[in-house]
Amino acid sequence: MAYKNHEGYRDPTAGKAIHEADKEPDDIRWLRKTFHEIAGLLGYEIVGRVVIRDRKAKRTWR
C-alpha cells in the first residue's frame, strides 16, 4: 500500500520515511524473540502482548 499525501497523490519518499521510523529496532526484535524462546524452553508460551518500553528514549513497542 503506497503512502499518499494530503492531496491524494502518491508520495513514496514520505511513505518510506514513515515506514522506517515506525519499524521496530533490531535490539527490540531480538529481545521479543528471546522472550518467546525462553518461555518455550520452560514449557510456556506468551499469548498476550509483550510491551517493551525504552526508559531513555521514552518510546514503547507493543
| Inside any domain, residue 14 | no
Within a domain: 1:
no
User: Quick check: is 40 in a domain?
Assistant: yes
Buried b (16+ CB within 10 A) or exposed e, 1-18: eeeeeeeeeebeeeeeee
Whether 11 is in a domain gets the answer: no
On whether residue 16 sits in a domain, the answer given is: no
Rounded Cα gap, residues 38 and 8, in angstroms: 46
| Residue 5 in domain | no
Domains identified in the chain, total number:
1
Asked if residue 31 is part of any domain, the answer here is yes
Copy the grid coordinates of residue 11. Answer: 508520495
What's the pTM? 0.58
Q: Are 50 and 32 spatial neighbours (Cβ–Cβ below 8 Å)?
A: yes
If DSSP codes are grouped into helix, strand and coil, which group holds residue 9?
Answer: coil
Res 34: pLDDT: 94
Q: How far apart are CA 39 and CA 25, in angstroms?
A: 22
Which pLDDT tens digit goes with each residue over 5-51? 788 888 888 888 888 887 888 888 899 899 999 999 999 888 888 88
